[in-house]
Amino acid sequence: MKRIPCVLTIAGTDPSGGAGIQADLKTFQELKSYGMSVITSVVAQNTTGVKDVHHLPEHFLQGQLNAVSNDMPIDAFKTGMIANKNMMKVISEWLSEVKAPYVMDPVMVAQSGDPLIEKEAQAYLKEYLVPRTTLVTPNIPEAEALLDKSIESESDMQEAAKMIVQELGAGAALIKGGHRKGKAIDFLYDGERIHSYEAERIDSSNTHGTGCTYSAAITTYLSQGYSLPVAVKEAKFFVTEAIRHSFDLGKGSGPTNHFARREEVFKQ
Ligand SMILES: Nc1ncnc2c1ncn2[C@@H]1O[C@H](COP(=O)(O)OP(=O)(O)O)[C@@H](O)[C@H]1O
Ligand SMILES: Cc1ncc(COP(=O)(O)OP(=O)(O)O)c(N)n1
């Protein structure tokens, strides 16, 4: 019998369950791959913002990475919050041992405005991790930080996707348009051509964890053997429905709904 595809997230936590490791694992489960996780930082956060952060020591990050890769198959993996250069170095060394599609969500700032990466680590991420990726999925402020360039129009987004591949060496780049007004359009450059993914903008403030959920869905579909453009298409559908059926939970920006595609949820 064919085994279940196995997918790994390396990221920070969200005890309120909307973003980070928790959002990733829910997505993996919902889309039917076997989910695994390595924690970089334990974050005391909820729908209103980040209260405190504890970065795990590097030897502990290394220990978790070894524990997974010495024992389990990895068919695709993603990284989310990697707060500092030391953790990036550990992950960068580990990358040489793993031959699976790598999706990087270059998490920099939470929706609440709280920083999730040390400023000086951005240069390391760009130089040593981005060139090892299959796909990088920045939102507009993250793409602007990676390229040191302002991005306003759809053609700026397409140009930025190309630059992240051609100048920074990413395998592919998906620029997400969640931070703009109007339709929710994202652009993928896969080294050959631009693909666009469009959805209507949903009038909801419950978008905590959308970027995590989207990149986790792409990674799951890659673990199942879908091509990159199709994995992004399916993941875009998943995240759009998750926003459409998002929850009014907590006092701030509520979480997306990871089981929005289930029939019983649509009927509620
Ligand atoms: N209100 C919305 N309605 C529909 N799609 C949205 C909305 N907000 C964000 N998206 C989509 O959610 C995904 C995540 O995008 P974005 O919010 O830019 O990333 P991040 O969560 O990393 O800041 C993208 O596909 C984007 O187009
Ligand atoms: C631990 C952790 N990782 C990432 C984020 C940012 O999540 P994202 O999907 O970009 O969604 P927002 O929080 O920006 O809506 C996070 N908050 N925590």
Q: Which two tokens stand for residue 115?
A: 């920083």
Task: Specify the ligand 1 atom closest to the Cα of 185.
Answer: 27
Tell how far the Cα of 165 is from the centroid of ligand 2, in angstroms. Answer: 24
Q: What integer best gives the mean pLDDT of the chain?
A: 94
> Which band of pLDDT confidence, cut at 50, 70 and 90, is reported for residue 267?
very low
Minimum-distance ligand to the CA of 255? 2
CA-CA distance, 175 to 187, in Å (whole number)? 5
Is the alpha carbon torsion for 117, 214, 131, 39 positive or negative? positive
Q: Is the CB of 177 under 6 A from ligand 2?
A: no
Tell how far the Cα of 138 is from the centroid of ligand 1, in angstroms. Answer: 11
- Return the closest-CA partner of residue 250 out of 200, 219, 208, 222: 208
Domains and CATH numbers, the chain: 6-266 (3.40.1190.20)
Tell how far the Cα of 19 is from the centroid of ligand 2, in angstroms. Answer: 5
The angle at the Cα of 139, spanning 11 to 78, to the nearest 5 degrees, equals 30
Q: Which two tokens stand for residue 96?
A: 């040489």
Task: Specify the ligand 1 atom closest to the Cα of 179.
Answer: 18
What are residue 195's DSSP bridge partners? 188
More confident residue, 259 or 187: 187
Catalytic annotation, residues: 176, 207, 209-212
Confirm if 77 and 69 have CB atoms less than 8 A apart.
no
What is the mean predicted confidence (pLDDT) over 208-235?
98
Does pLDDT of 264 surpass 70? no
pLDDT per position as a tens digit, 126-159: 999 999 999 999 999 999 999 999 999 999 999 9
* Alpha helix stretches (DSSP H) within the chain: 20-30, 58-69, 85-95, 121-124, 140-147, 154-166, 210-223, 228-244, 263-266
Q: Which two tokens stand for residue 11?
A: 């990221």
Does pLDDT of 78 surpass 50? yes
Tell how far the Cα of 104 is from the centroid of ligand 1, in angstroms. Answer: 16
Task: Specify the ligand 2 atom closest to the Cα of 207.
Answer: 15
What is the mean predicted confidence (pLDDT) over 36-62?
97
The percent of residues in the chain predicted with pLDDT above 90, rounded, is 89
